[in-house]
Amino acid sequence: MKISEARKIIWRMALFACFIIASGTFIYAQIAYNSLRAHRTQARQVFLPSSDVVGLFSFGFKNFFADMFWIQSIQYIVTEGLLKDSYMAEYFDIVTTLDPYFEYPYLVSNILLPRYATIQDAQRLSDRGIQFIPSSWQIPFYLGVQYHVVERDYANALRYLRIAEKRPDAPPIIRSLIASYTVRSGDIESGKALYEALRDTSENEYTRQVADAWIRQISILESLRAATLLYKERYGSYPADMRALIRAGFLDEVPEGLENFTISIDPVSGFIQMR
Amino acid sequence: MKNRILAIAINAFKESMRDRILFAVLLFALFIIASSLFLGTISFDQEQKIIKDFGLTAIFLLQIFIIVFVGANLVYKEVERRTFFMILPKPINRAEVIVGKWLGLGTTIFLMTVLSSAIFFIIVGLKNGDAGGFGPLALAIAVGYIESLLLIMVSILFSALTSPVLASVYTISIFLIGHSSSLLLTIIQKEPNVILKTAVSFLYYIFPNLEKFNIRNGVIYGVVPATEQLWWIVVYAVAYGIVLFIAAKIIFEKREF
């Protein structure tokens, strides 16, 4: 074998060895890098510009950017999970600032934000949705229901349900809910009147039955209120609870039909609340 | 005169059609339209909206990229290849060259718009199942095309004035300013200083207000501008186009080749 040929073979072998070592090194480097990433904290850094800035620099592509941020927000929720104090509200704010006519983000934010951010965030976005999509009954309806379910805030629940009720295509169930929330908020007379109107005007048999059942319960509440006033006349203060009314002889037992509700009597004002 | 303009237009059209950038841009637009199919599936039940938004954006981007990359080279290439020196001694008015170039590039963009729109409508039709909402979408594309006709004139103006790179930068700048006119309007409304307010108002009216050509955001929800509004858009485009044409003509005639 000539020396030049031997050199050539050695050179090729060295080259091959270099190739193998380099390949092994970059694969190892990737594994080491991945393990570094795995040890990092779970909280992912998210860069989110403010909705005003994104709107300002969208240059005629607002819908496109709104879609991009919408997809990004879904990916964010899917990868990060439903976490408290996450960036959900900021994402939905950007999407609806860029495209205020995009209804779906308002609905999703009404479902998620009251639980995973604050109901004020959901309200802020919903107010925008109500302004830009006046035909949507779902936006105020979802928020109203969330005010009831999450916050037990019947005044705001009523406020948004009344907006939803006025929208075209609003289902009749909203009227029933309005009546229910009116009773729960303590305005028993108005609630009864709403249920009576619902019973007399509804074409749906089930709705009429539900309204009738509520009117019966309201009558019980009215009896309770009368008993509470009598209690005050005798003892000079309102009863602490329903058991006090039973002990004083104003009630024989807890009225039938109210077993599933928590009845509370405010000892200062005598206000009867049903939850 | 007609024949001369037509000859220049045909030449500009052929020239731009030979440009490889054109097909790169077309491929890019088609890629965006195609990607909407995938992105639509991960958009939480908003597939139709995503496909329409992406499609309209892709078609508009196609028009803008052609103007920026091809339009900015229109005059410069002629100078660089010295073909201009063969045209100029002939009894051709320089204004005819501008109109010819504008018509040529306008035709190229029209062809590319029709091609990409056809693909877009096929995808929307296949996903939607009916052709009910095609009218407003077509209108948005048409109004976008009017904007691009105006921007071609901007591009030709800068192309006659400076190098292709700078012409591209200036055209993009005008495009961005034109789509930020709402910001200027906000400043005008909120600025207490009268001098600054007047200066910004002057800029607001001098720069093209291109956002009025953007009806893409509305048509997705079936919101179509009133006929009167559309007429004013056309009137604005024609009037502004004439002003740009006169400016380009003056610059072109003063320039020594």
Number of domains within chain B? 1
User: Within an 8 Å CB–CB cutoff, is residue B60 touching chain A?
Assistant: yes
Where does residue A183 rank: exposed (0-12), middle (13-18), buried (19+ CB within 10 A)? buried
Between A272 and A244, the more confident residue is A244
pTM to 2 decimals? 0.74
Q: Considering chain A, what is the average pLDDT of its residues?
A: 83
State ipTM.
0.82
Smallest Cβ–Cβ distance between B53 and the set A56, A67, A74 belongs to A67
Is-contact B6 B100, C-beta < 8 A?
Answer: yes
In a domain, B195, yes or no: no
Query: In B, which residues are within 8 Å of A74 by CB distance?
Result: 42-44
Q: For B199-252, how does the pLDDT look when each residue is reduced to its tens digit (9 = 90+)?
A: 888 888 889 999 899 998 888 888 889 999 999 999 999 999 999 999 988 888
Q: For A21-69, how does the pLDDT look when each residue is reduced to its tens digit (9 = 90+)?
A: 999 998 888 888 877 766 555 555 667 888 888 888 888 888 999 999 9
CB count in 10 Å sphere of residue B108: 23
Q: For B17-26, how does the pLDDT look when each residue is reduced to its tens digit (9 = 90+)?
A: 888 888 888 8
Smallest Cβ–Cβ distance between B46 and the set A59, A62, A70 belongs to A70
**Residue B228 belongs to what domain range?**
2-179+214-254
Q: For B44-60, how does the pLDDT look when each residue is reduced to its tens digit (9 = 90+)?
A: 778 888 999 999 999 99
In a domain, B100, yes or no: yes
Q: How confident is the model at residue B132 (pLDDT cuts 50, 70, 90)?
A: low
The pLDDT of residue A42 is: 54
Cross-strand partners of A274: A263
In a domain, B20, yes or no: yes
Taking CA–CA distances from B178, the nearest residue in chain A reads A59
Taking CA–CA distances from B221, the nearest residue in chain A reads A101
- State the best of A61, A77, A88, A108 to mutate against chain B, taking most chain B CBs within 10 Å: A61
Query: In A, which residues are within 8 Å of B50 by CB distance?
Result: 67, 71
In a domain, B136, yes or no: yes
A263 in helix, strand or coil? strand
Q: For A108-124, how does the pLDDT look when each residue is reduced to its tens digit (9 = 90+)?
A: 999 889 888 899 999 99
Q: For A149-188, how does the pLDDT look when each residue is reduced to its tens digit (9 = 90+)?
A: 888 888 888 899 999 989 888 887 888 888 888 877 777 7
The pLDDT of residue B72 is: 79
Distance from CA of A100 to the nearest CA of B (A): 10
Kindly determine whether residue B223 and residue A101, on different chains, have CB atoms separated by under 8 Å: yes
Task: Return the exposure string of B235-256: e unless at least 16 CB atoms fall within 10 Å of the residue's CB, then b.
Answer: ebbeebbeebbeebbebbeeee
Taking CA–CA distances from B54, the nearest residue in chain A reads A64
Closest CA to B134 of B147, B121, B123, B146: B121
Q: How confident is the model at residue A275 (pLDDT cuts 50, 70, 90)?
A: low
Domains of chain A, first to last:
51-170 (1.25.40.10), 172-275 (no CATH)
In a domain, B137, yes or no: yes
The pLDDT of residue A131 is: 95
Kindly determine whether residue B44 and residue A61, on different chains, have CB atoms separated by under 8 Å: no
In a domain, B39, yes or no: yes
Kindly determine whether residue A70 and residue B183, on different chains, have CB atoms separated by under 8 Å: no
